[in-house]
Protein backbone atom coordinates (compact mmCIF):
# COMPACT_ATOMS: atom_id res chain seq x y z
CA UNK A 1 0.00 0.00 0.00
CA UNK A 2 1.18 3.53 -0.61
CA UNK A 3 -0.13 7.09 -0.43
CA UNK A 4 -0.42 9.35 -3.44
CA UNK A 5 1.22 12.47 -2.07
CA UNK A 6 -0.47 14.65 -4.69
CA UNK A 7 -3.85 13.76 -3.17
CA UNK A 8 -3.04 13.40 0.54
CA UNK A 9 -4.23 16.25 2.80
CA UNK A 10 -2.41 14.89 5.90
CA UNK A 11 -5.62 14.59 7.91
CA UNK A 12 -4.42 11.30 9.47
CA UNK A 13 -7.93 9.80 9.34
CA UNK A 14 -6.23 6.65 8.07
CA UNK A 15 -3.96 6.20 11.08
CA UNK A 16 -6.40 4.51 13.55
CA UNK A 17 -7.68 2.09 10.90
CA UNK A 18 -4.42 0.26 10.27
CA UNK A 19 -4.01 -2.83 12.52
CA UNK A 20 -0.24 -2.55 12.17
CA UNK A 21 0.24 1.17 12.74
CA UNK A 22 1.78 1.51 9.30
CA UNK A 23 0.62 5.08 8.60
CA UNK A 24 3.37 7.32 9.88
CA UNK A 25 4.52 10.91 9.58
CA UNK A 26 7.85 11.18 7.79
CA UNK A 27 9.48 14.36 6.48
CA UNK A 28 6.17 16.18 7.05
CA UNK A 29 4.30 13.69 4.88
CA UNK A 30 1.91 10.88 5.81
CA UNK A 31 3.38 7.68 4.36
CA UNK A 32 2.85 3.94 4.63
CA UNK A 33 5.85 2.37 6.32
CA UNK A 34 6.73 -0.26 3.75
CA UNK A 35 8.30 -2.61 6.29
CA UNK A 36 5.41 -2.42 8.76
CA UNK A 37 2.57 -2.78 6.24
CA UNK A 38 1.38 -6.38 5.85
CA UNK A 39 -0.83 -5.59 2.82
CA UNK A 40 -3.98 -6.63 4.70
CA UNK A 41 -6.15 -4.28 2.64
CA UNK A 42 -8.10 -2.96 5.66
CA UNK A 43 -7.40 0.68 4.82
CA UNK A 44 -8.78 0.29 1.30
CA UNK A 45 -11.81 -1.76 2.35
CA UNK A 46 -12.78 0.84 4.95
CA UNK A 47 -12.59 3.54 2.29
CA UNK A 48 -11.24 5.67 5.08
CA UNK A 49 -9.41 8.23 3.00
CA UNK A 50 -11.63 11.19 2.01
CA UNK A 51 -9.19 12.04 -0.78
CA UNK A 52 -8.85 8.51 -2.17
CA UNK A 53 -5.10 8.90 -1.68
CA UNK A 54 -4.44 5.37 -0.42
CA UNK A 55 -3.40 3.21 -3.36
CA UNK A 56 -2.37 -0.35 -4.10
CA UNK A 57 0.05 -1.32 -6.84
CA UNK A 58 -1.48 -3.29 -9.74
CA UNK A 59 0.37 -6.46 -8.75
CA UNK A 60 2.20 -7.02 -5.47
CA UNK A 61 5.47 -8.80 -6.35
CA UNK A 62 6.65 -12.11 -4.88
CA UNK A 63 7.63 -12.63 -2.08
CA UNK A 64 5.83 -9.55 -0.72
CA UNK A 65 2.54 -10.99 -1.97
CA UNK A 66 2.77 -13.51 0.89
CA UNK A 67 2.05 -10.62 3.27
CA UNK A 68 -1.27 -10.13 1.55
CA UNK A 69 -2.35 -13.76 1.27
CA UNK A 70 -1.66 -14.38 4.97
CA UNK A 71 -3.07 -11.06 6.22
CA UNK A 72 -6.02 -10.16 4.00
CA UNK A 73 -9.10 -12.23 4.96
CA UNK A 74 -10.42 -11.82 1.40
CA UNK A 75 -7.41 -13.50 -0.21
CA UNK A 76 -7.72 -17.18 -1.05
CA UNK A 77 -4.68 -19.42 -0.71
CA UNK A 78 -3.92 -21.30 -3.92
CA UNK A 79 -2.75 -24.41 -2.07
CA UNK A 80 -5.84 -24.89 0.10
CA UNK A 81 -8.53 -22.77 -1.55
CA UNK A 82 -9.29 -21.25 1.87
CA UNK A 83 -9.52 -17.53 2.61
CA UNK A 84 -7.39 -15.66 5.13
CA UNK A 85 -4.69 -17.69 6.79
CA UNK A 86 -5.53 -20.56 4.50
CA UNK A 87 -6.57 -23.17 7.03
CA UNK A 88 -9.77 -24.10 8.79
CA UNK A 89 -7.73 -24.13 12.01
CA UNK A 90 -9.06 -27.38 13.45
CA UNK A 91 -12.53 -25.84 13.76
CA UNK A 92 -14.05 -28.31 11.31
CA UNK A 93 -12.52 -31.40 12.85
CA UNK A 94 -15.93 -32.95 13.45
CA UNK A 95 -16.33 -33.01 9.66
CA UNK A 96 -12.77 -33.53 8.43
CA UNK A 97 -11.78 -35.99 11.16
CA UNK A 98 -8.21 -34.82 10.67
CA UNK A 99 -7.33 -35.20 14.34
CA UNK A 100 -8.44 -38.71 15.20
CA UNK A 101 -8.59 -40.55 18.50
CA UNK A 102 -5.15 -41.15 19.91
CA UNK A 103 -3.82 -37.98 18.28
CA UNK A 104 -3.83 -34.48 19.68
CA UNK A 105 -4.00 -31.67 17.14
CA UNK A 106 -1.89 -28.62 17.91
CA UNK A 107 -2.00 -25.23 16.28
CA UNK A 108 0.77 -22.76 16.92
CA UNK A 109 -0.28 -19.33 15.76
CA UNK A 110 2.28 -16.59 15.37
CA UNK A 111 1.26 -12.96 15.26
CA UNK A 112 -1.63 -10.72 16.13
CA UNK A 113 -2.80 -7.29 14.95
CA UNK A 114 -0.26 -4.59 15.92
CA UNK A 115 2.62 -7.05 16.25
CA UNK A 116 2.31 -9.38 13.31
CA UNK A 117 4.98 -12.02 12.77
CA UNK A 118 8.00 -12.40 10.54
CA UNK A 119 8.26 -15.56 8.48
CA UNK A 120 11.74 -16.06 9.94
CA UNK A 121 10.00 -16.72 13.27
CA UNK A 122 7.55 -19.03 11.52
CA UNK A 123 10.56 -20.92 10.17
CA UNK A 124 11.89 -21.41 13.69
CA UNK A 125 8.64 -23.10 14.69
CA UNK A 126 8.48 -25.23 11.52
CA UNK A 127 12.08 -26.35 12.12
CA UNK A 128 11.31 -27.18 15.74
CA UNK A 129 8.24 -29.23 14.79
CA UNK A 130 10.33 -31.05 12.18
CA UNK A 131 13.13 -31.73 14.67
CA UNK A 132 10.60 -33.16 17.13
CA UNK A 133 9.51 -35.67 14.49
CA UNK A 134 5.93 -34.50 14.59
CA UNK A 135 3.54 -34.80 11.62
CA UNK A 136 2.35 -31.58 9.97
CA UNK A 137 -1.28 -31.15 9.02
CA UNK A 138 -0.70 -30.93 5.27
CA UNK A 139 -3.82 -28.95 4.38
CA UNK A 140 -2.21 -25.72 5.51
CA UNK A 141 -0.42 -23.16 3.30
CA UNK A 142 2.55 -23.00 5.67
CA UNK A 143 3.54 -26.46 4.43
CA UNK A 144 3.85 -25.06 0.90
CA UNK A 145 6.48 -22.60 2.15
CA UNK A 146 8.84 -25.36 3.28
CA UNK A 147 11.89 -25.73 1.02
CA UNK A 148 13.49 -28.65 2.84
CA UNK A 149 11.21 -31.16 4.54
CA UNK A 150 14.18 -32.81 6.32
CA UNK A 151 15.01 -29.62 8.26
CA UNK A 152 11.84 -27.54 8.03
CA UNK A 153 13.75 -24.69 6.39
CA UNK A 154 11.43 -22.32 4.54
CA UNK A 155 12.16 -20.78 1.16
CA UNK A 156 15.01 -18.37 1.97
CA UNK A 157 13.65 -15.45 -0.04
CA UNK A 158 10.49 -15.22 2.09
CA UNK A 159 12.03 -15.00 5.57
CA UNK A 160 12.00 -11.20 5.75
CA UNK A 161 8.28 -10.99 4.99
CA UNK A 162 5.89 -9.99 7.74
CA UNK A 163 2.29 -11.17 8.06
CA UNK A 164 -0.59 -10.45 10.42
CA UNK A 165 -0.51 -14.08 11.53
CA UNK A 166 0.30 -17.58 10.35
CA UNK A 167 -0.52 -20.95 11.86
CA UNK A 168 1.45 -24.18 12.03
CA UNK A 169 -0.76 -27.22 12.61
CA UNK A 170 0.49 -30.65 13.58
CA UNK A 171 -0.63 -33.99 14.95
CA UNK A 172 1.01 -35.43 18.05
CA UNK A 173 0.44 -38.94 19.44
CA UNK A 174 -1.50 -38.52 22.70
CA UNK A 175 1.22 -40.17 24.78
CA UNK A 176 3.70 -37.50 23.61
CA UNK A 177 1.35 -34.53 23.89
CA UNK A 178 2.25 -33.31 27.38
CA UNK A 179 5.96 -33.44 26.57
CA UNK A 180 5.27 -31.64 23.30
CA UNK A 181 3.52 -28.79 25.14
CA UNK A 182 6.34 -28.34 27.62
CA UNK A 183 9.14 -28.50 25.07
CA UNK A 184 7.38 -26.29 22.54
CA UNK A 185 6.37 -23.71 25.16
CA UNK A 186 9.94 -23.46 26.42
CA UNK A 187 11.20 -23.11 22.86
CA UNK A 188 8.66 -20.42 21.97
CA UNK A 189 9.46 -18.36 25.04
CA UNK A 190 13.19 -18.51 24.33
CA UNK A 191 13.33 -18.24 20.57
CA UNK A 192 10.29 -16.61 19.03
CA UNK A 193 9.96 -12.84 19.00
CA UNK A 194 6.22 -12.29 18.62
CA UNK A 195 2.91 -13.11 20.30
CA UNK A 196 2.18 -16.84 20.06
CA UNK A 197 -0.99 -18.79 20.74
CA UNK A 198 -0.80 -22.55 21.12
CA UNK A 199 -4.08 -24.47 21.01
CA UNK A 200 -4.84 -28.17 21.27
CA UNK A 201 -7.80 -30.20 20.07
CA UNK A 202 -8.71 -33.76 20.99
CA UNK A 203 -11.69 -35.93 20.20
CA UNK A 204 -13.99 -36.76 23.07
CA UNK A 205 -13.80 -40.24 24.53
CA UNK A 206 -16.77 -42.63 24.15
CA UNK A 207 -18.24 -41.39 27.45
CA UNK A 208 -18.13 -37.79 26.19
CA UNK A 209 -15.27 -36.78 28.44
CA UNK A 210 -11.67 -36.13 27.47
CA UNK A 211 -8.90 -38.10 29.14
CA UNK A 212 -6.44 -35.62 27.68
CA UNK A 213 -8.14 -32.70 29.39
CA UNK A 214 -8.02 -34.65 32.64
CA UNK A 215 -4.30 -35.32 32.18
CA UNK A 216 -3.66 -31.62 31.63
CA UNK A 217 -5.44 -30.79 34.87
CA UNK A 218 -3.48 -33.43 36.76
CA UNK A 219 -0.21 -31.74 35.80
CA UNK A 220 -1.57 -28.32 36.71
CA UNK A 221 -2.05 -26.90 33.21
CA UNK A 222 -5.67 -25.83 33.78
CA UNK A 223 -6.76 -25.57 30.16
CA UNK A 224 -9.64 -23.41 28.99
CA UNK A 225 -11.78 -25.72 26.84
CA UNK A 226 -12.80 -24.04 23.59
CA UNK A 227 -10.70 -21.03 24.49
CA UNK A 228 -7.42 -19.64 23.30
CA UNK A 229 -4.40 -19.42 25.56
CA UNK A 230 -1.62 -16.98 24.87
CA UNK A 231 1.82 -18.18 25.79
CA UNK A 232 5.29 -16.89 25.08
CA UNK A 233 4.24 -13.27 25.08
CA UNK A 234 7.31 -11.67 23.66
CA UNK A 235 8.53 -8.23 22.68
CA UNK A 236 6.92 -6.96 19.51
CB of 187 to ligand SF4, least distance (A): 29
- Beta bridge partners, 198, equal 108
Does residue 41 belong to the site contacting ligand SF4 (CB under 6 A)?
yes
Are 106 and 172 contacting, i.e. CB atoms less than 8 angstroms apart?
Answer: yes
Residue closer to ligand SF4 by CB (options 54, 104) is: 54
CB-CB neighbours of 43 under 10 Å: 22
Collect all residues with Cβ–Cβ distance below 8 Å to 51 and sequence separation of at least 6.
Answer: 7, 8, 9
Pairing of strands 162-163, 117-118: antiparallel
Give the count of residues interacting with ligand SF4 (CB under 6 A): 26
Per-residue binder mask for ligand SF4 (CB under 6 A), 99-118, x = binder: --------------------
Are 193 and 203 contacting, i.e. CB atoms less than 8 angstroms apart?
Answer: no
Residue closer to ligand SF4 by CB (options 117, 216) is: 117
Which helix (H) or strand (E) is 166 found in, with range?
Answer: strand 166-173
Residue among 102, 95, 89, 92 at smallest CA distance from 202: 102
CB of 114 to ligand SF4, least distance (A): 10
Within 47-106, which residues bind ligand SF4 (CB under 6 A)? 48-49, 51, 53-54
CB of 51 to ligand SF4, least distance (A): 4
- Please give the full DSSP string across 210-223, using - where no structure is assigned: -HHHHHHHHTT---
Does residue 43 belong to the site contacting ligand SF4 (CB under 6 A)?
yes
Within 5-34, which residues bind ligand SF4 (CB under 6 A)? 8-14, 18, 20, 22, 30, 32
- Please give the full DSSP string across 127-145, using - where no structure is assigned: HHHHHTTPEEPSSSHHHHT
Determine the interface stretch with ligand SF4 among 2-10, 181-189, 207-215, 226-234 (rule: CB under 6 A): 2-10
Footprint of ligand SF4 on this chain (CB under 6 A)? 1, 3, 8-14, 18, 20, 22, 30, 32, 37-43, 48-49, 51, 53-54
Amino acid sequence: MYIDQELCKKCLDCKPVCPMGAFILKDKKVVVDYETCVECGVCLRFEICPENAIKQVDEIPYPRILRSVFSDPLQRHESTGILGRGTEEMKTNDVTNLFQKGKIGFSIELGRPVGGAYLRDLEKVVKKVTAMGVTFAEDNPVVQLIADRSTGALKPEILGERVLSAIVECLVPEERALRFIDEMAEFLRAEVDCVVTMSAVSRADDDGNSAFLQKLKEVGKNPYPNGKVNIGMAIV
